[in-house]
Amino acid sequence: MLKVQQNYKVGIYVRLSKDDERAGESVSIENQKLMLTKYCEEQGWNDYSVYCDDGVSGTTFDRPGVSKLIEDAKEGLINLILVKDLSRFGRNYIQVGQFTDYLFPMIGCRFIALNDGVDTLHNDNDIMPFRNLFNEFQSKDTSKKIKAVKQAHAKMGNYLGCYVPYGYKAHPDDKHKFVMDEYAAGVVRKMFAYRRQGFGFRKIARLLNEEHILPPRDYYYQEKGVESKGYRNHLWNDVTVKSMLRSEVYIGHMVQNKRGTLSYKNKKQVDKPKEDWIKVANTHEPIIDMDTWNACAEVDARNYKPRPTKDSEISLFGGLLKCMDCGFKMRYSQETHTYPKKGKVKYISYFCGSYARSGRSACSAHIIYLNPLSELVLDDIRHRAKRVLEDEDRVRRELLEQKAKQSDRQLKADKSTLKATEKRLAELEKLTQALYEDKVLGTVPEAVFKNLMVKYEAERVEKQMLVQSLKQKIADTAQDERDIEQYVANIKKYVAVEQLDRGMLLELIKYIEIGERKEKDGQKYRDIVIHYNLVDKAG
């Protein structure tokens, strides 16, 4: 029991969390101060200080106000702590108990929770542990309710973030919606255009910085007309660029619930598994079209990482060329030769990556120069575009026939197998139901029931997996027509193109196979096969 003191140095502690704000004035900071200072005056305690935490949860003791309070109590600067109720001091019943039952008595500090009737000067505080436990349960229940409300909003497509995504601005009438910001949307389109050309995230960030475009947070504060908070270098970086270029918000979809706290006690933010994300499609106006999104996704999906040239640029065919014989990516090479009349001449070529790594024992050089390759690819693109413009229906029909030859027989077999498998699944359902009924009636022994159930369940799982696989294959076949439509739309734009650029190549071509130079009847030749996007092969 604490020794009674006449002269108390009181530490008044007040706290308000964001959740408490819903309760109104009754738990406000000012209301708590008024109540506790009045109590001090009534007791004749005129030596008091106020410690405050505003907008901080009581489930953690990592709060500046309470930390200072406890530090001062240990130093003897205060010897009585006064709070409105136990929940103001904290909602973690274990930690609260450690302070009130052990630390404060040990250092001779009295503790009073006014509304709960708790005073460590007396011994009749048996109810205190239960109050602490109740406060923690209440905090846990509140946390669950808030999460449920947030998830409900997310499932309705309502935006829950603090900052509107770059490219948009807050809706004037609805805080859960946003509208397009034309300037920032233009920057977003520029970023996707760079990515479509195959530029890396760091390169895109550098280009934006060179153009003196404000990064998202700085732009936000500029539009608000206030000074940017916190220290930053005020520059774009590769992490920001990567995050934006992979955000489905720019194609009109809302994806939320990607991060959350470990628990209602531990507020550390962690990434959630993808299956827990909440996605709602078509909630707002998209900034980029699906063609651009898919083209950038194709860049992401490529297995190569094109090496930059000596000028720190990605070469025209970087990552798009493969050795026809060994399958390795072709490497970029640049050489400069000096001639008496021409002066310095730069030669750009590509050669087999396996040859570069391991020499002739691995593969031959397969060297090919940039200019003749560019002319060949450009001619092929223009030729295909011309054919589409001359007779689009014929090209579409030929491509469909080509696809049909490859897949028609397999498609029929898949559909037949799918029909038979779905029929068997229905039979298994009936057999399982009948087996349960026979077991209830006692006509089937327990051992027989268990064996048959294991057998039926194993077959059911196997058949369900087969159904999913077959449906996906059939869906992929149906996708062929949409792929061909996309190919036709893309290729015909380039009927009069005069020069290749990287964006065009990435839009049209998956990869190009380069064969080794050969000679027949005194004539040199090589095989080159161009694999176009959305079409199996062309050469």
Indicate if 46 and 131 belong to the same structural domain.
Answer: yes
> What letter does residue 308 receive in the DSSP assignment?
B
Q: Which of 196-205, 259-268, 506-515 has the lowest mean pLDDT?
A: 259-268
Cβ atoms of 16 and 28 within 8 Å: the answer is yes
Indicate if 36 and 131 belong to the same structural domain.
Answer: yes
Higher pLDDT pick, 463 / 402: 463
**What does the alpha-carbon distance between residue 158 and residue 177 come to, in Å, rounded to a whole number?**
6
Q: Answer whether residue 114 is part of any domain.
A: yes
Q: Please identify, among 300, 329, 355, the residue that sits at the C-terminal boundary of a domain.
A: 300
Q: What is the domain range of residue 63?
A: 10-148
**What does the alpha-carbon distance between residue 300 and residue 322 come to, in Å, rounded to a whole number?**
18
pLDDT in tens, 169-183: 888 888 778 888 999
Q: What is the DSSP string of 326-368?
A: T-PBEEEEEEEEEETTTEEEEEEEEEEHHHHHH-TTT-----E
pLDDT at 83: 92
Indicate if 82 and 43 belong to the same structural domain.
Answer: yes
pLDDT at 56: 80
pLDDT band of residue 150 (cuts 50, 70, 90) is low
Q: Which pair of tokens denotes residue 530?
A: 């161009």
pLDDT higher than threshold 70 for residue 436: yes
Q: Please identify, among 148, 178, 211, the residue that sits at the C-terminal boundary of a domain.
A: 148
Residue 192's CATH number: 3.90.1750.20
pLDDT higher than threshold 60 for residue 528: yes
Q: Answer whether residue 275 is part of any domain.
A: yes
Indicate if 28 and 74 belong to the same structural domain.
Answer: yes
Question: Across residues 218-225, what is the average pLDDT?
Answer: 86
pLDDT in tens, 222-238: 888 887 766 567 788 88
- pLDDT, averaged across the chain: 79
pLDDT at 184: 92
Indicate if 207 and 135 belong to the same structural domain.
Answer: no
Indicate if 90 and 177 belong to the same structural domain.
Answer: no
pLDDT at 376: 93
Residue 49's CATH number: 3.40.50.1390
Cβ atoms of 495 and 512 within 8 Å: the answer is no
Q: Answer whether residue 269 is part of any domain.
A: yes
Indicate if 43 and 131 belong to the same structural domain.
Answer: yes
> What letter does residue 310 receive in the DSSP assignment?
T
Q: Which pair of tokens denotes residue 168?
A: 């948009």
pLDDT in tens, 250-271: 988 888 777 655 444 445 556 7
Indicate if 115 and 233 belong to the same structural domain.
Answer: no
Q: Answer whether residue 81 is part of any domain.
A: yes
Indicate if 380 and 412 belong to the same structural domain.
Answer: no
Cβ atoms of 114 and 39 within 8 Å: the answer is yes
pLDDT higher than threshold 60 for residue 142: no
Q: Among 190, 166, 159, which Cα is nearest to 180's?
A: 166
Q: Answer whether residue 82 is part of any domain.
A: yes
pLDDT higher than threshold 90 for residue 69: yes
Q: Answer whether residue 44 is part of any domain.
A: yes
Cβ partners under 8 Å of residue 305, min gap 6: 319
pLDDT higher than threshold 80 for residue 78: yes
**What does the alpha-carbon distance between residue 104 and residue 120 come to, in Å, rounded to a whole number?**
9
**What does the alpha-carbon distance between residue 82 and residue 42 come to, in Å, rounded to a whole number?**
14
pLDDT band of residue 245 (cuts 50, 70, 90) is very high
Q: Which pair of tokens denotes residue 41?
A: 């005056």
Q: Answer whether residue 311 is part of any domain.
A: no
Indicate if 259 and 326 belong to the same structural domain.
Answer: no
pLDDT at 472: 67
Cβ atoms of 136 and 91 within 8 Å: the answer is yes
pLDDT at 374: 92
pLDDT higher than threshold 90 for residue 283: no
pLDDT higher than threshold 80 for residue 404: no
**What does the alpha-carbon distance between residue 133 and residue 150 come to, in Å, rounded to a whole number?**
26
pLDDT band of residue 68 (cuts 50, 70, 90) is very high
Indicate if 107 and 16 belong to the same structural domain.
Answer: yes
pLDDT at 440: 76
Q: What is the DSSP string of 105-141?
A: HHHT-EEEETTTTEETTSS--TTHHHHHHHHHHHHHH
**Which class for 26: exposed (0-12), middle (13-18), buried (19 or more C-beta within 10 A)?**
exposed
Indicate if 417 and 452 belong to the same structural domain.
Answer: yes
- CB-based burial, 206-223: b 16+ in 10 Å, e otherwise: bbbbeeebbbbbebbeee
Count of the separate structural domains present in the chain: 4
Q: Answer whether residue 512 is part of any domain.
A: no
